Structure 1
């Protein structure tokens, strides 16, 4: 997977090398620093991890730049947001999604995933082994079939990335609850040296109680858009996050985030952010628990 910004930078350096006789006051090192600062290249040149919680309204879509220069997309929001998500990813310099994750087959998580599959290069696709009869789900399956790809059935204990300082692990589903798709959600934990991120889809307390793996994490993607059914005192005690992100739409019909969930985050002194209030949220860290947060609004 090659990033276009890297190609651009190489061209800039080559051009600079040709012009060094007349630009002797400058240095390659200064040009390098200028390019990085001006273009916010991020993890192309530094071994950072960045999680982009894309504001797509009442749904989830999280783009993750991994420190091994691969990337991941967890969910693809509601319908008619595919081009927006694609353009956002391209704007960061990526043209390939190495790992595509559909946490569960609800329309606010896979609504635009058929577009993403059809229009972007995809490495692997992970979904829980559960089905539904909705048109949204059927369109996704058709897109995968037309692409000639196969879906990997996600389950607890699987590893997506297993490297010396980087692990992307699937902690759930432990079991499939076909009567409640939220509780079939893929739960992913990313660990990069001393940093950790937990993404729980729409998992509610029933599914969370089945997880036996370590769910402690510095950064938490709050479950089910801030629903009271996902954020409990017991869960926050286990995760013990420093930062949390709630992905929800402005004035949504569900009352998300619920007051009970927000109160618990405050009680546990969690620094939390909301896409409905702050737009797209980006959290970056360097493996040493040095986190930075930027928001669109």
Structure 2
């Protein structure tokens, strides 16, 4: 049981649930403002001094710290949720724990002997922050005082064998339900893990897995989740470590657009996977028609979406 303090009944009150997807280059960090005033931070972007990232990671880290300071004010972060321990998801966690009041920390318990992950755990312990682990078979993590909110941890019944070499394959998903609205955070879960997890039904808003890679957002998963809205957190072409990954991919943008519906009047810069990411000829990136219900930090900067629990998210 993870304690997040007191809650209240909020359905029908018109209170907003708001989620901030921060523009943190080729990484992920999203702050959820629950309608009862509590906050959940999903992932913490990259380490500011990551190798081969240049100034992109340091700028993104500074932006995250500045935005959290502005958005939190004097309030604590009730829960820091790390989907998996890759640097672009856990890299800022030590500084978040050091600079902000954190009431609880959750990760998947993997690779605790890694220096970066160990430093995060040590920081949490030194500050008296309780640590919890979501493991296979531990598919629901009840949160005290959730009230009209339902917050669910989602993991497969057993880790994939590829977890030993690929941390993406051990992502722990987080689902937040508020009346008729829901959010599904997938971290970097790829198709093999998508096929194993139970997303607990359709989700209104989807955090697109693995920064819009073609290794995630499989057709079967999108059919089960049936998102109405989606957000890709990815770097711009040539920005920092996106030189090595070339996200998002054009086929993923097209698949998401088909799944989301809406107007296709917008475009999103995406990479054509028929080319090699390491070569990146000019024609490998193109403006792909995209649903107006699909947002991307590479194009839109910080993305802030809000819902009153009526099944609709609006951009703020």
**Separation (CA, whole Å) in 2 of partners of 1:290 and 1:219:** 9
Q: Deviations over 1:82-130 (max 9, x none)?
A: 5432321231244310010011000000111100011110111010021
**Structure-2 residue corresponding to 1:61:** 29
Task: Determine which of 180, 189, 194 is the counterpart of 2:175.
Answer: 189
Task: Determine which of 68, 72, 76 is the counterpart of 1:89.
Answer: 68
**Separation (CA, whole Å) in 1 of partners of 2:157 and 2:96:** 27
8 Å CA contact 2:24–2:61 kept in 1: the answer is no
Higher relative contact order (CA 8 A, sep 6+): 2
**Separation (CA, whole Å) in 2 of partners of 1:52 and 1:161:** 23
**Separation (CA, whole Å) in 2 of partners of 1:76 and 1:173:** 23
**Separation (CA, whole Å) in 1 of partners of 2:199 and 2:87:** 28
8 Å CA contact 1:175–1:184 kept in 2: the answer is no
**Separation (CA, whole Å) in 2 of partners of 1:150 and 1:173:** 24
**Structure-1 residue corresponding to 2:206:** 220
8 Å CA contact 1:129–1:176 kept in 2: the answer is no
Unaligned runs of 5+ in 2: 6-12, 49-59, 262-290
**Structure-1 residue corresponding to 2:92:** 112
**Separation (CA, whole Å) in 2 of partners of 1:153 and 1:215:** 24
8 Å CA contact 1:53–1:61 kept in 2: the answer is yes
Task: Determine which of 116, 119, 143 is the counterpart of 1:160.
Answer: 143
CA RMSD of aligned residues (A): 2.1
Q: Cα distance, 1:146 vs. partner? A: 2.0
**Separation (CA, whole Å) in 2 of partners of 1:285 and 1:221:** 15
Greater than 6 Å deviation, 4+ residue runs: none
Task: Determine which of 166, 174, 181 is the counterpart of 2:157.
Answer: 174
**Secondary structure of 2:104's partner?**
strand
Listed as ranges, the matches of 1:1-297 within 5 Å are 47-80=15-48, 81-94=60-73, 95-131=75-111, 133-154=113-134, 155-160=138-143, 163-177=146-160, 178-179=163-164, 180-251=166-237, 252-253=242-243, 254-268=245-259, 269=261, 271-294=293-316
How many residues of Structure 1 are paired with residues of Structure 2 in the alignment?
252
Considering only CA atoms, is the larger Rg found in Structure 1 or Structure 2? 1
8 Å CA contact 2:152–2:174 kept in 1: the answer is yes
Unaligned runs of 5+ in 1: 3-44
**Separation (CA, whole Å) in 1 of partners of 2:144 and 2:170:** 21
**Structure-2 residue corresponding to 1:34:** none
**Separation (CA, whole Å) in 2 of partners of 1:172 and 1:232:** 17
**Length-normalised TM-score, structure 2:** 0.75
**Separation (CA, whole Å) in 1 of partners of 2:218 and 2:144:** 29
**Separation (CA, whole Å) in 1 of partners of 2:174 and 2:312:** 21
**Separation (CA, whole Å) in 2 of partners of 1:82 and 1:175:** 33
Which structure dedicates a bigger proportion of its chain to helix?
Answer: 1
**Length-normalised TM-score, structure 1:** 0.79
8 Å CA contact 1:83–1:115 kept in 2: the answer is no
